[in-house]
Amino acid sequence: MAILEVNQLSVHFGDESAPFKAVDKISYTVDEGEILGIVGESGSGKSVSSLAIMGLIDYPGRVSADSVNFHGENLLEMAEKERKKLTGADISMIFQDPMTSLNPCFTVGYQIMEALQVHQGGSKRERRARAEELLRLVGIPDPASRLKVYPHQLSGGMSQRVMIAMAIACNPRLLIADEPTTALDVTIQAQIIDLLLDLQKEQNMALVLITHDLALVAEAAHKVMVMYAGQVVETGSSVEIFRSPKHPYTQALLRSLPESSSGKSRLDSLSGVVPGLFDRPRGCMLNPRCPYATDKCRSEEPAVQGPPERAVKCHYPLNEQGEPTR
């Protein structure tokens, strides 16, 4: 059953006379207990779309959608107070850089206990006990004394564990993790990912994992959504996407995986970069970079083909042999 249903979500920047879409009518669902991997190059709209769902793009009129339903309730139609109760408790998010997310002026214990007070109440003693339990749960040794330290006294990995503790404090049903390990040393990255995946399984949370790490997505995600220039270009089960990508962009992304037999690296098969907000091309967003582009691709925006569980936005989806269907 779907826990999150996003229908035609757009996020505009720029002013009224010249609005620019950072996210352009994206739709997707996340089921209870499911891991959705969102992939795509920098600037494709992965973070902005998640911030919009969390209500963290707080300029009026920037965010529009037919609906963003959480457990069937439209977040966009909720009173601010109701929505804030959900985001931070039932829906939670962790960000790339723990150091900028923790407040340097307060102890770790204070910050976790404050999150608990806002969403769950309870006595101070109960909150302290729960904060200690949370630190233990995320693998922080000697939690009672760690509650008293300030963020600068923690390593990057420990800080991210604290952020995860805060994010799961209220037993969320959906956790959005936006490149949660990018700011950490490689050796620590794997530990944090293992921790997240363990917690996801233990608590049967739905997890949206925004990452550049395709190998991780292949291994951990049930479903994959590929974004390019603010649009969703392909969705499917992880197995299908990695076995037989239908969009030339997904194909190029997968070829950038080091273990790929093609020997190509870092999107070599696509020249150029994701277009910026001000220079979106006509037709298909990928056409200036796509090796298969035709005149139709340069003039007509492709429609989404296929059901939501296996959809592709391309005039000539690739066949099983990886060739465009013309």
Ligand X SMILES: Nc1ncnc2c1ncn2[C@@H]1O[C@H](COP(=O)(O)OP(=O)(O)OP(=O)(O)O)[C@@H](O)[C@H]1O
Question: Given the rule CB under 6 A, which residues bind ligand X?
Answer: 13, 22, 40, 42-48, 276-277
Alpha carbon distance 157, 148 (integer Å) = 18
Q: Closest Cα to residue 106, out of 83, 86, 131, 72?
A: 131
Question: In this complex, which beta carbon is closest to ligand X, that of residue 48 or of residue 164?
Answer: 48
Question: Under DSSP, is residue 39 helix (H, G, I), strand (E, B) or coil?
Answer: strand
Smallest distance, ligand X to C-beta of residue 209, A: 13
Q: Where are any strands of DSSP class E within the chain?
A: 2-14, 19-31, 35-39, 63-64, 67-70, 73-74, 91-94, 174-178, 206-210, 223-228, 231-237, 304-305, 311-313
Asked if residue 303 lies in contact with residue 222, where contact means CB atoms within 8 angstroms, the answer is no
Residue 254: DSSP 8-state: H
Q: Which is nearer to ligand X, 43 or 151 (CB)?
A: 43
For the CB of residue 251, give the shortest distance to ligand X in the complex, in Å.
19
| Residue (135 or 225) nearer to ligand X, CB | 225
CB of 199 closer than 8 Å to CB of 165? no
Q: How far apart are CA 230 and CA 44, in angstroms?
A: 5
Residue 212 CB, shortest distance to ligand X, in Å, is 6
**Nearest distance from C-beta of residue 42 to ligand X, angstroms:** 3
Q: How far is the CB of 125 from ligand X (least distance, A)?
A: 40
Pick between residue 19 and residue 308 the one whose CB is nearest to ligand X: 19
Return the closest-CA partner of residue 322 out of 256, 225, 257, 243. Answer: 243
Nearer to ligand X, 89 or 207 (CB): 207
